[in-house]
Structure 1
Amino acid sequence: MVLRPPVEPMLAQARETIPLPGAMPGGGMLIDPKFDGFRCLLFTPVEDGQPVVLQTRRGAMYQARFPDLVAAAAQLPRGLVLDGELAVLEEGQLSFTALQRRATAVRQARVLAAELPAHFIAFDILQADGRELLDEPLWRRREVLEALFADHRLTPPWTLCPSTTDLAVAQEWLTEWTDVPGVEGVVVKSRAGRYRPGVRGSWYKVRRRATTEAIIGGVTGSLRHPQVLLLGRLDAIGRLRLVGKTVPLKPTPSAEVADQLTGADTDHPWTGVRFSARWGSRDHLIPVLVEPRCIAEISGDTAQDAGVWRHPVRYVRLRQDMTAADVPTFGGMQRHTG
C-alpha cells in the first residue's frame, strides 16, 4: 500500500526521566534529541504530476509556505515519506519565532525563504521507493533512513537527526544540548517498535525542566478556589508581562495559594487583556485578576518564545521570602536544575 496524505504521525508519551533500557518493549532503545520545531511529514511524488507535500501533525498542508523545501525535494527519490521536525535558522540558531513567521506569512513565502531558510530534520522513514515501512521495526527503519542520506549524499536543508543507544550520551544531550536554543529534550523509542500512526505507543519524550520564579497576576476559577495561575514578569520599564500559565492546581496547592491572594483593583495592568486558553488557540480564558504581589516558584521546560512559555508550567510553591523585584525580568534567564 502506498501512503498518501494525510497520515497521522506517531506520538510520544511524556516522561520525567529517561526510561531504563530493560523497561522498553523489546529490551532496547534508540534516543534522539527533541528539536523545538513543527512536527512534519514529507511526501515526495510517486508518479508524474503529483506534488511534494509537507503535512503538519494536525493535517495542515504547508508546502506553499515552504517553497524552498519543495524545491530542494528534487534531491530526494520518488515515493518517499519522511517523519521529522521542520525548523528555521536565524543568525545561525534554531528559532521558533522565525519558524512561526514563515508558517503564517503565506504571501511572503518566497521572500522569507531567502531570509530565513527552512530545514527538515528527519528522524524516521515511513515509506521508501513507494514501499510502506510502518510494520518494520525502528532499528530497520533507521538503517533505511541512514542509507537514504548516504546514498543520495543529502545536504541541508535535509538533516539526519542524531540517534544513540548509549544512555550516557542521551543523558548528556538532555543536560548539555538543551542549553542550546532549539533543543528541548530527548525522545526515547523502542528499537523493536513498529510505527503506529496517531498512537502514543513506545515513544517517550523527556523535556529538560528548570525552576524559576514568576509573579501571580491572575487565576482562573475563583479567589477561594484558584484553578490555573496566570504568571507574569516585569519588563525593563516595570510593566507586568504575561509569561505563562500553570497546569491545573491540585486541592492542597490551590488552598495554599488562595490564602495569599487579594483581588485586584481596576488599575491592574492586565485589565481588559484577553488570554488564550492554550498556545495557538482562539479560545480565551476568563481570568480573575489579583494583586501582583505573590511570587510562585515554578518548573517549566525550555520551550519559550520571546520569554513566554509555550507549554503550561508546574506550580512548585509560594516564595514568601521574595518580592516582585527579586523575580527575573521579562525575557530573563531561568535557573536550570537539570
Structure 2
Amino acid sequence: MTLRPPVEPMLAQAAETIPPTGMLREVAYEQKLDGHRGLLFTPPAPGEQVLVQTRRGSLIQDRFPDLVAAAIEQLPHGLVLDGELLVWDPEEGRLSFEALQRRAAARACGASALAARTPAYFIVFDLLQADGAELLTLPYRERRRRLEVLFAARGLSAPWTLCPMTTDLAKAKEWLESWTDVSGVEGILIKSMNQRYLPNHRGWTKIRRRDTTEAIIGGITGTLNRPQLLILGRHDDTGRLRTVGRTTPLRPDQARQVAERLTAASPDHPWTGARFSAAWGSRDDLDVVLVDPGLVAEISADTAVDHGGVHRHPLRFRRLRLDVTAQDAPLFGTGPHRAAG
C-alpha cells in the first residue's frame, strides 16, 4: 500500500527525566531538534510532485522550493521521510526558529527569495516508505537501518541530515546535559527499538532540557490575593523591562507564597497599556494585573527561546528569590542559564 498525504505522524509524550535503567529495554535515543515536524513524499514516478506535509496535514511544499529541488535531484521515487524542518540564518550564524516561521507562512511568490536568504534543512529520523512500499509495521530498528543505508548509498548531505541516534544511555545523558547548548537542539527522544510506527499515537518519550534561572515578576493573572499565572520580565541593557514569558498555573501553596509579597503596580509601571499573549504566537490576550516589578522568581525553563529572548513554552515557578533584587536578575536576551548568585 502506498502512503499518501495526509499521514498522521507518530507523536511523543513529555517526561521530566530519563526513566530508570531497569525500566528501559532496547531503546534508542535521538537528539530532539527545535523545528517544525514534517513528512516529505517523493513521487512514485518522474514528473510528479514532491510533497511536504506538516504535522497537522497541510501541504507546504510551495514554501520550501529549495527542499523540493533537492528531493528531485537526490532522493529516489516512492519515498516517505519523517523528520524536522529547520532553517539556517547566515547573518546570525545559527538555526533560527523565527526564520522558519517566516518561511512556513510565506506566499509562494516570495518563497524563492526567502529560500535564497535562509535555506531550509530536513533532519530525518524515520523512514515510512521506500520504493513505494510502506514500512509502518516494521520495528524501529529495521526502519532506522534502512534509513542509514539510504543515506550511505545515496551519499546524502545538506539539506538532508540523518538525525543523531545512540543506544548508549551515557551518551544520551551527555546530549541532554551539554548538547542542548547547541543551537537547535532542545532535548532527546526515547524510542523502543522493537516498536512499529503508530500514526497519531504518543508512543515515544521526549525530554527537554530545563535550566534554573531568574526573572522579574511584572504582572499576574487572577488577583493579588490569588495569583494564577506570573508574567515575567528582564531588563535590557538600556534598563527597559522586557517580557520574557509566563508561567504555568501556580499550585495553591505557590500562589500563597507569591501573594504574601505582591504589591499593586504604580501608575508609572513600564508595562502600563501593554497587551500580553496567552501563548507564544497566539492572538489571544491574557487579562493581566500589573504588580510592582520588585520581586524575582526562580524558574525552570527549557531551551526554546526566540532571538529576542522570549520563551516559547510556559515557564515553571519554583520559588521566590528574596535574596536577589530586580537589578541582580539576568539581563534580557542572556539565555536560560542561571546568572544571579
Q: How would you bin the TM-score normalised by the shorter chain?
A: over 0.9
> How many pairs align?
334
Offset of 1:152 from its aligned partner? 1.6
Structure-1 separation of matches of 2:273 and 2:8: 39
Offset of 1:21 from its aligned partner? 4.9
Preserved CA contact (<8 Å) 2:46 2:77? no
C-alpha RMSD over aligned residues = 1.6
Q: Helix, strand or coil for the counterpart of 1:154? A: coil
Preserved CA contact (<8 Å) 2:12 2:205? yes
Q: Which residue of 2 is the match for residue 2 of structure 1?
A: 2
Q: Which residue of 2 is the match for residue 111 of structure 1?
A: 113
Q: Which residue of 2 is the match for residue 316 of structure 1?
A: 318
Calculate percent identity across the aligned residue pairs: 62
Preserved CA contact (<8 Å) 2:302 2:336? no
**TM-score, normalised on structure 2?**
0.94
Structure-2 separation of matches of 1:49 and 1:279: 40
Q: Helix, strand or coil for the counterpart of 2:254? A: helix
Q: Which residue of 2 is the match for residue 85 of structure 1?
A: 84
Shifted more, 307-316 versus 48-57: the winner is 48-57
Shifted more, 95-104 versus 133-142: the winner is 95-104
Query: Aligned runs of 1:14-93 on 2, under 5 Å?
Result: 14-24=14-24, 27-47=25-45, 50-74=48-72, 75-91=74-90, 92-93=93-94
Q: Which residue of 1 is the match for residue 189 of structure 2?
A: 187
Structure 1 residues 228 and 160, CA gap change in structure 2 (3 angstroms): same
Offset of 1:205 from its aligned partner? 0.9
**TM-score, normalised on structure 1?**
0.94
Structure-2 separation of matches of 1:246 and 1:113: 35
Q: Which residue of 1 is the match for residue 160 of structure 2?
A: 158
Which AA in structure 2 matches 1:2? T
Offset of 1:48 from its aligned partner? 5.2
Which AA in structure 1 matches 2:19? P
Offset of 1:327 from its aligned partner? 0.5
Give deviations 1:11-51, integer Å, cap 9, x for gaps. Answer: 11111112245424xx2101011111111111111245542
Structure-1 separation of matches of 2:206 and 2:190: 6
Q: Helix, strand or coil for the counterpart of 1:300? A: strand
Structure-1 separation of matches of 2:338 and 2:289: 31
Q: Which residue of 2 is the match for residue 211 of structure 1?
A: 212
Give deviations 1:277-333, integer Å, cap 9, x for gaps. Answer: 112222221111111111100010111002111111110100111111001111013
Structure-2 separation of matches of 1:20 and 1:82: 31
- Unpaired runs of 5+ residues, structure 1, are none
Give deviations 1:118-165, integer Å, cap 9, x for gaps. Answer: 100000111111111111110011011111111222111011111100
Structure-2 separation of matches of 1:18 and 1:189: 12
Offset of 1:103 from its aligned partner? 2.1
Offset of 1:336 from its aligned partner? 5.7
Structure 1 residues 190 and 232, CA gap change in structure 2 (3 angstroms): same
Shifted more, 185-194 versus 1-10: the winner is 1-10
Structure-2 separation of matches of 1:276 and 1:57: 24
Preserved CA contact (<8 Å) 1:33 1:185? yes
